[in-house]
């Protein structure tokens, strides 16, 4: 049962949750991915939450079957993680529309809680690995997964940065061409001047 608990939590909080965050952060920047990115994000996060609930449940069961054995930090992080995830999922029900005046506040809340969940979940997975003391290859495998996800995020960050920069550059070039070469009227901004005659 320890292994099931570990696998459920590692897959849900440690892999699917960060993957869903990467999708929301980067894939939405590609115009062709709209609205598919949103459904992929929700699918990853809800799948992670459902598996996380199962992992949390097995953790509670393990705790009740092991009187006198407590892992206070792991348990505390697990309760905090589950609580934040429950609040985050519940917040979907009150998500304002894109043009609503409160949407920017909701987005800020959603990002902060989401990144908090990621940090706590990764810390708690390492805490759980220390408790279970599996073969070192499992810890290395999880570190490899984290490095892969971080590398993917970094690559997408660079691609999105170049996309935004080229879009701004194209917008600036378009603005320049609509205002003439050096200004708004003609070549020098003052319109064409006729030579003065004496």
For residue 33, what pLDDT is reported?
Answer: 87
Q: What is the pLDDT of residues 64-105, one digit of tens each?
A: 888 877 888 999 999 999 999 999 998 888 899 989 999 999
Main-chain phi, psi angles of 61, to 5 degrees:
-65, -45
Give me the residue label for tokens 């309760």: 79
Distances (CA, A) of 119 to 14, 21, 84, 126, 149: 10, 12, 12, 11, 14
Residue 110's closest CA among 126, 100, 95, 121? 95
Q: What pLDDT score was predicted for residue 91? A: 87
Name the DSSP letter for residue 94: G
Are the CB atoms for 29 and 43 separated by under 8 Å? no
Under the phi-then-psi rule, with left for phi > 0, alpha for psi from -120 to 50, and beta for the rest, what region is 133? left
The pLDDT value given to residue 49: 95
- Note the pLDDT of residue 118: 95
Does this model's pTM top 0.85? My answer is no
Do 113 and 84 touch, CB atoms closer than 8 A? yes
Q: What is the mean pLDDT of each run of 10 residues along the chain (198 residues)?
A: 88 95 92 90 95 93 83 92 93 89 92 95 94 88 96 95 84 64 51 54
**48 closest CA partner among 81, 14, 72, 93:** 14
């Amino acid at each position: 049962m320890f292994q099931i608990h570990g696998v459920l939590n590692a897959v849900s909080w440690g892999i699917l949750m960060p993957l869903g965050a990467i999708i929301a952060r980067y894939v939405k920047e590609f115009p062709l991915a709209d609205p598919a990115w949103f459904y992929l994000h929700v699918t990853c996060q809800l799948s992670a939450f459902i598996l996380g609930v199962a992992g949390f449940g097995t953790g509670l069961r393990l705790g009740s079957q092991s009187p006198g054995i407590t892992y206070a930090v792991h348990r505390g992080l697990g309760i905090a993680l589950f609580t934040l995830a429950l609040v985050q999922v519940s917040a979907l029900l009150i998500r304002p529309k894109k043009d609503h005046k409160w949407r920017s506040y909701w987005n800020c809340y959603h990002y902060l809680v989401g990144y908090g969940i990621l940090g706590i979940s990764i810390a708690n997975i390492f805490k759980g690995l220390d408790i279970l003391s599996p073969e070192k290859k499992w810890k290395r495998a999880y570190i490899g997964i984290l490095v892969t996800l971080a590398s993917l995020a970094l690559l997408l960050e660079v691609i999105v940065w170049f996309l935004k920069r080229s879009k701004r550059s194209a917008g600036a070039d378009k603005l320049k061409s609509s205002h003439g070469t050096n200004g708004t009227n003609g070549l020098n901004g003052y319109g064409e001047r006729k030579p003065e005659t004496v």
